[in-house]
Amino acid sequence: MRVAVDADGEGGGRLREIGADRDSDGALWRVSDLAGAVSDYEHAIPDAPRWVWAATDEVYPPLVGHALRVARCHDVALVESLLLGYHGRFGEARSVGAAWARLHGREVPPDPVIRGTEGAEPPPALFEPDRSTIPPDVDRLRALIEVHADQQRRIAALPHPGRFALLAAVESAGALAAVEMHHDGVPWRPDVHDAVLTGLLGPRPPHGSRPRVLADLEARISAAFGRPVNPDSPGQLLKAFAAAGRSVPSTRSWVLRDVDHPAVPLLLRYKELSRLHSAHGWAWLDTWVRRGRFRPDYVVGGVVSGRWATRGGGALQIPKAVRRAVVADPDWTLVAADAGQLEPRILAAVSGDTALAAAAGADDLYARLAGAFHGDRQRAKIGLLAAMYGQTGGDAAPLLETLRRAYPRALDHVDAAARDGEEGRLVRSWLGRTCPPPSPMWRRLVLDADAPADGDTAARQARERGRFTRNFVVQATAAEWALVFMAAVRRGLAALDTAHGVPRLVFFQHDELVLHVPRRSADDAVAVLRAAAEEARTLMFGATPVRFPLDVAVVDCYADA
């Protein structure tokens, strides 16, 4: 059963059951306590309803704030975005108001701009701005139900409606998890973080000044050049190296590594530590960690491939050194699960290459490929990654030839995606997420026959898009495997015994999931993870020989995973 929800922004709202034929109206409920009403529904029926609402990131946080969790939802904005993308209309307004306007031939309102929340706790506003884009003369609940029904029809009309429906469901489940993970937060020990920083940079400097170790390195770098140089300034560094008779094309670490000058080792150390200090130093700690939790703002579907992005806090780039600070609460533990070699396994599954699929039945796929490379696993790995990323330079070419002979269908699959991209067509993931169309500029440059002003540029642009679409079919499918997996984990955790505390999903990063669970529930959590990976494989690919083994670690500290 589906129930449409319109929150009034003051804790109440209206609910209406959606009939099986999607258009008939169930009873309307007007409630002053929306969280209570939703909670009653969740527990009253054996099979929890799927909540239909405009946007999870608007409707769900207040419910989670009332200690409520729902099992399932249909996020109209996210699904609209997926459907628009499918039809080559990536990026068009996706709010329920915009969808309703398109349905009625009215002027389509732009999506409200998302405000960047600076820090872990944005200042509370007296009045939340009304982010609804539905015209004031239109009943919001009515419009929501109409748009939802239309989305259901549009999904049913697709070539693979079942797959797309799964995509819509897991995208929505992801939106629930994103709100919940923001609410629960990653357990974070400021004292441990501070100790890591102090150990590498020296004691915390007073207000904004440079830590001792960085200041020392800067002085020694300047001394090595015989002139004052700001090591943060690529421009100054280029000049300083040129003046020293050691001209460099850039100041990237891997370039500098081979330069013979006494400043180089100091610079490399400086870059490493300076990066730590500016990206995840004390300022970061002050801004992003509150009451022992780091709460990233996840942006579901924020990446074209369907991977998530985050807003602020750099949650998806936490350096290895800083993971020391992620420590489970006393009597709790972290359970970190990572889908090993996910992308090549995905390629094996979607391409239908039986030889590669057989190799992907092993725990170490690359080791199984090594045979074709005279037993060299590393070369097998580089070759396969090159095939998925579109690398042609370096020593990739012979590796690709070897792979093509052993796994022709897999190579054909990514090559075909690249060709589609180069020729301006759309490509799709397994479940139907679709890449953006090329820009008008790209079309003019690449496809316009009578404007070949610059053939080189056109060819380069075409190849660039080819690499993008080549990678898209794999990365986007990997992202949806991860979503199916996460949705299954979320459901599995909700069914666990909570006598010792409620197991929580606390961190998600592309192909990796971290749970925070009572120590006594650790074994159950691991079982949930393994079952979820199996469920994801079956739901997406049915009876495939491809396996998706999980690396699972039960640890007190994330750095030990």
Partner DNA sequence: ATTCGCTGCCAC
Partner DNA sequence: AAACGTGGCAGCGAAT
Q: What is the DSSP string of 278-346?
A: HHHSHHHHHHHEETTEE--EEETT-STTS--EEESTTGGG--GGGGGG-BPPTTEEEEEEEETTHHHHH
Work out whether strand 72-75 and strand 50-53 pair parallel, antiparallel, or are unpaired.
Answer: parallel
Give the shortest CB-544-to-DNA separation in angstroms: 22
Instruction: Report the residue number, 159 or 249, with the smaller CB distance to DNA.
Output: 249
317 vs 335: CA distance, rounded Å: 19
**What's the Cα-to-Cα distance from 200 to each of 212, 256, 313, rounded to whole Å?**
10, 22, 21
Closest CA to 279 of 182, 201, 212, 183: 201
**Shortest distance (Å) from residue 502 CB to DNA:** 26
Read off φ and ψ for residue 294, nearest 5 degrees. -100, 125
Catalog residues that contact DNA under the rule CB under 7 A.
230, 232-236, 250-255, 271-272, 275, 278-279, 284, 299, 302-305, 307, 309-314, 316-320, 338, 382, 385-386, 389-394, 464, 467-468, 471-472, 475, 509-512
Of the two residues 135 and 424, which places its CB atom closer to DNA in the complex?
424
What is the nearest approach in angstroms of DNA to the Cβ of residue 50?
29
Asked if 554 contacts 333 with a C-beta cutoff of 8 angstroms, the reply is yes
Least separation in angstroms between residue 321's CB and DNA is 8
Contacts of 7 (CB under 8 A, 6+ apart): 13, 34, 53, 58, 59, 62
* Closer of 269 and 500 to DNA (Cβ): 269
Residue with Cβ nearer DNA (130 or 401): 401
Strands (E), 354-403: none
CB of 509 within 8 A of CB of 483? no
Distance between CA atoms of residues 345 and 407, nearest Å: 13
With vertex at residue 539, the alpha carbon angle to CA 537 and CA 542, rounded to the nearest 5 degrees, is 75
Could you tell me the smallest distance in angstroms from the CB atom of residue 361 to DNA? 21
Residue 355 contacts residue 540 (beta carbons within 8 Å): no
Nearer to DNA, 333 or 471 (CB): 471
- Closer Cβ to DNA, 35 or 484, answer by number: 484
> What is the nearest approach in angstroms of DNA to the Cβ of residue 362?
20
Q: Are 229 and 237 a contacting pair, CB within 8 Å?
A: yes
Of 302 and 437, which CB lies nearer to DNA in the complex structure? 302
Nearer to DNA, 203 or 234 (CB): 234
| 272 vs 556, beta carbon nearer DNA | 272
Distances, alpha carbon 394 to alpha carbons 4, 251, 391, 442, in Å: 55, 21, 8, 27
Record the tokens describing residue 152, joined without a space. 């259901």
**Residue 434: alpha-carbon gap to chain centroid:** 16
Angle between helices 408-422 and 342-351 (to 10 degrees): 90
Nearer to DNA, 106 or 227 (CB): 227
> Among residues 24 and 250, whose Cβ is nearest to DNA?
250
| Shortest spacing between CB 551 and DNA, in angstroms | 11
Place of tokens 């000058």: 261
Q: How far is the CB of 553 from DNA (least distance, A)?
A: 12
- As a whole number of angstroms, the distance between CA 252 and CA 239 comes to 14
Which residue bears the tokens 């357990």?
187
How far apart are CB 365 and DNA at their closest, in Å? 15
Least Å distance, CB 258 to DNA, is 8
Which segments of 185-257 does DSSP mark as H helices, in order?
190-201, 212-225, 234-243, 253-256
Closest approach of Cβ 255 to DNA, in Å? 7
| Distance separating alpha carbons of residues 475 and 108, to the nearest angstrom | 32
